[in-house]
Amino acid sequence: NAGVTQTPKFQVLKTGQSMTLQCAQDMNHNSMYWYRQDPGMGLRLIYYSASEGTTDKGEVPNGYNVSRLNKREFSLRLESAAPSQTSVYFCASRQKQGATNQPQHFGDGTRLSIL
Amino acid sequence: KQEVTQIPAALSVPEGENLVLNCSFTDSAIYNLQWFRQDPGKGLTSLLLIQSSQREQTSGRLNASLDKSSGRSTLYIAASQPGDSATYLCAVTPPEASGTYKYIFGTGTRLKVLA
């Protein structure tokens, strides 16, 4: 049981380039999340998806787009990367159908540097 | 706006010591509070989740307490071990996010247990 898998683990981009961060979970969870973690600022929610085909903005959505095409996968896209988007990105999932009080489960992160 | 603070940012203790990590939040109206552990280069692992109606939760050598009226939670680690070295984060779920679990994270306390 792999849990939450994020790819790639590391990436270096030039300003203006685009890329998609991939996330997949095998726990049959309904909800999925994208966070960024910056030094001294904790984790901040970028986007949230309650179920397949639905997405909702979080605290810091500007410069990002997301796609939840199926229950397993939730991708995060940077259309035109900026140095301010240098960060560690975490994907998380939660909540099997009918379960309550369940915590989020996190992937190991993608470390993204934008030059 | 809810803010979550964790002080100190870093802590070093000798092995075997009992220790307390602190988490403060500005708005006492929370749905739940969660403690996580983060190892270097890894994602977050859930430790304990306390519902707003609860006062504490225990798991092995860990005990988390919640005092909503004072806006505080503590994570007590008994008989600390070098393997406990990690960053510990707390996160609160505001009442309006009870269905989505959109956490608001603190910035974490980096713990080092010296052998």
Q: By CA distance, what is B1's nearest residue in A?
A: A59
Contact list, B45 vs chain A (CB under 8 Å): 106
* pLDDT digits 0-9 by tens, A12-55: 999 999 999 999 999 999 999 999 999 888 899 999 999 898 99
Contact list, A108 vs chain B (CB under 8 Å): 41-43
User: Residue B55 pLDDT > 80, yes or no?
Assistant: yes
Q: Name residues whose C-beta falls within 8 Å of residue A31's C-beta, 6 or more positions apart in sequence.
A: A48, A49, A50, A51, A93, A94, A95, A104, B100, B101
d(CA B84, CA B15): 10
d(CA B16, CA B18): 7
Q: What is the pLDDT averaged over residues B43-59?
A: 93
pLDDT of the residue at A98: 54
* A28 CA: distance to closest CA in chain B (Å): 16
Task: Examine residue A61 and say whether the peptide bond preceding it is cis (omega within 30 degrees of 0).
Answer: no
Give the position of tokens 């075997």.
B16
pLDDT bucket at A99, cuts 50 / 70 / 90: low
